[in-house]
Amino acid sequence: MNLPIYQIINVKSAQLEDIAALLHEDLNLRRPVAYVLKTLNLDEQREVIGVIENWFETHQASWRYPYPVFIVSDYSDAIGHMPVFTEVAHLPRFYNQKDVKVTLKETQVLERNRLLQQEIKNADGHLMAEVVRDYGINHKKIWYLVKEASFYEHLLKKLRVKEDANG
Amino acid sequence: MDKKKVMRSSSSDDLKGFEEFLDHVDHDSSVDKVNKNIGGESLTFLHHDNTRLKKVAALVAQKLPVARHHEQGPKIIEQQRHINAQLKNDLFRILDKKASPLQKTLSGLWNGFFFDNK
């Protein structure tokens, strides 16, 4: 068993068959993955990002859970939803750990993590993402409405103080 | 302690005759790997990852299904809109009075513009 540190995949070809060979259902089940597209030209990089995003969409797989999937490309501004970084060094540091031999104690924790990873994987990632998005949109609306209410309350308070002062 | 010392010093002698076999063994890691892991950094990292996974699992398996089936967002939004409408009514009622600061300011402006010119 290995630590859940980055699996760096260097994409050297923009051919569909070659990319398809790099994608599979359990890709991000045990560890985060980073596709490095830097060896391709810009057009190919954009194309490959689209192919990878489509693959997750059509295979009902989530690139968020259990571990995230990142893309390292010269396209720093994300074209789609997947997170894109310009350098491998810019990837989140949390998973940047030394690849060491695991001890018995660590193996036990890894075993526990395996169950959780499978549990997360079994959930419908797309449906969950949709629920989270809707939840977020509603909360944003509530936030704006409460802000508006707070402004009215502030005005009312000031006006009432003035009214009382004038008798 | 003595036994360990003896074993360390004589390890090269013990390996005599096994050199050919040892050439096929992957030398790159095991000793180094164990040494690097002495600080227990990996264990801490794994515990943090365990906490993260637990939170995600709870979100996916418990919180989101509840949020999906018993969504309260639209009800709260409706309620808040009603509160805001009431507050606006109160505000306009006060501002509509003749002695309100808004009316006073407006009449001051109005009178100042027209009557001062005469």
- The structure tokens listed for A51 are 């192919």
Quick one: average pLDDT of B60-77?
Answer: 90
Which of B29, B53, B78 should one mutate to test binding to chain A, selecting the residue with the greatest count of A CBs within 10 A?
A: B53
| Closest CA of chain B from A123, distance in Å | 7
Residue B59 DSSP symbol: I
| A81-100 pLDDT per residue, tens | 889 999 999 999 999 888 88
Name the pLDDT band for A138 (thresholds 50, 70, 90).
very high
Single pTM value for the model: 0.69
Which bin fits B40, alpha (ψ -120 to 50), beta or left (φ > 0)? Answer: left
The share of chain A scoring above pLDDT 70, in percent, equals 97
Search chain A and give the residue with CA nearest B100.
Answer: A163
How high does pLDDT run on average in chain A?
A: 89
Lowest mean pLDDT among A77-81, A163-167, B26-30, B73-77: B26-30
User: What is chain A written as a DSSP string?
Assistant: ---S--EEEE-----HHHHHHH--TTTTTSS-EEEE-TTS-HHHHHHHHHHHHHHHHHTT--SSSSS-EEEE-S--S-SSSS-EESSGGGS-GGG--------HHHHHHHHHHHHHHHHHHHS-HHHHHHHHHHHHHHHHHHHHHHHHHHHHHHHHHHHHHHHHHH-
Amino acid at site B103: Q
CB contact under 8 A, A156 and B45: no
User: What is the reported pLDDT for B15?
Assistant: 60
d(CA A153, CA A44): 56
Q: Is the dihedral of CA A8, A12, A14, A18 positive or negative?
A: negative
d(CA A125, CA A83): 17
User: What is the reported pLDDT for A101?
Assistant: 84
Lowest mean pLDDT among A1-10, A146-155, B95-104: B95-104
* pLDDT of B16 above 50: yes
Residue A68 CB neighbour total at 10 angstroms: 19
User: What is the reported pLDDT for A26?
Assistant: 87
| Closest CA of chain A from B97, distance in Å | 10
| A74-85 pLDDT per residue, tens | 877 666 788 999
ipTM, two decimals, is 0.81
Residue A146 CB neighbour total at 10 angstroms: 14
B96 in reach of chain A (CB within 8 A): no
d(CA A28, CA A63): 7
Specify whether the CB–CB gap between B104 and A162 falls below 8 A.
no
